Structure 1
Amino acid sequence: MHCPFISSELIMPNACLCLCVSPAVCICKLAEGEHPLLLRLLAGPSTDTLSFVLREQQTGEWDAFSIPELHNFLRILDKEEQDQVHVITTRYNIYREKLEAAIQAVSSPD
């Protein structure tokens, strides 16, 4: 299958997220109004159809840093990731509890 946003291995400017079923890699920036979770759900259960990778907006000169400095950056980023996972997990658990309570309230006989 051909990806409409890639021509001669170049990414077309202003391209939105595209679904590629071929081995080609499509790198597209999500538009402001796009919803990654909805796109993932619409793509179906196969992770071969669509996947997301978070990337930094700016690329720096990482070779200018020493190995200990880079390890320190990784530790900081790992800590930030753990904090964000905890926040998202907590939110999800609260939402799940509310959803289960609402389902229980609707399905319980009066």
Structure 2
Amino acid sequence: MGLTEQVDLERTVAEARGNNLARWLTALPPNVLDARNYADALKQLAAEHGWQYKRYSTKELEKMGAGAFLAVAQGNDDDSASIVRLRYRPGKASAKPDLSLVGKGII
């Protein structure tokens, strides 16, 4: 019973770390991980991994016409609701097609 393909250990470790991070964030109570702290955690991750980080405030989102998001954000006690864009561009060009991942964290 042998492996027919080589295991990509680096990728496997990265996937496991990503899963653990998602589980950890999910398990935090809302008084610890509110919208502002969530954006701050993403900013720290971006700095650690060399990703571009852009946080769109409610004022910016209003100018962009993000009405549905802003309607939900009105339920917040403060003005911490935002949308964060993380971007990673590898230094070396690749023949592979671009990949975009879209997710949400509602707190």
Pick the TM interval, shorter chain. Answer: under 0.3
Higher relative contact order (CA 8 A, sep 6+): 2
The two structures have a TM-score, normalised by structure 2, of: 0.25
Counting strand residues as a fraction of each chain, which structure ranks higher? 2
